Amino acid sequence: MGIEISGNNGRPAQEAAEASKSHASATQTKSARGSSPAPNSGSGSDQLRLSNQAAQLQALEAEIANLPVVDTQRVQEVQHTIATGSFEIMPARVADKMLTFEAGLGKDNRGPNG
């Protein structure tokens, strides 16, 4: 049984990236329209220009979306260590990681006052 924890609300990385892009695009369009109403020139064409930082973020987002979800080399290493019997389980480390993870989950659900 495998559990994928990626911070994307359970969505695959590419789907989450696409949703993020559409949300960012909609936000940019709304802010472009709402920031300063331009006089109606009658042409009916809106323009949106992205800053260099926004363009860089868009490029990074596309790059991240193309990364594999699973590090296959790491999976093969773990499979090999399990098969050879050299895989070490450190219960204290596992417990610490679980507690850290649980503490992080609690922070997101507390709200602004908690």
pLDDT (0 to 100) of residue 47: 84
Task: Dig out the tokens for 56 from the structure.
Answer: 């860089």
pLDDT averages per 10-residue partition of the chain, 114 residues: 52 57 53 50 74 89 90 93 92 95 76 53
pLDDT (0 to 100) of residue 50: 75
Count of residues making up the chain: 114
pLDDT (0 to 100) of residue 45: 86
Q: 33 near 26, Cβ under 8 Å?
A: no
Q: 17 near 64, Cβ under 8 Å?
A: yes
Rg (CA), the chain: 22
What pTM value is reported for the model? 0.33
- Alpha-carbon gap, residue 26 to 28, rounded angstroms: 5
pLDDT (0 to 100) of residue 32: 47
Task: Dig out the tokens for 14 from the structure.
Answer: 């590419």
Domain range list for the chain: 11-26+51-69, 71-109
pLDDT (0 to 100) of residue 43: 65
pLDDT (0 to 100) of residue 1: 46
pLDDT (0 to 100) of residue 82: 93
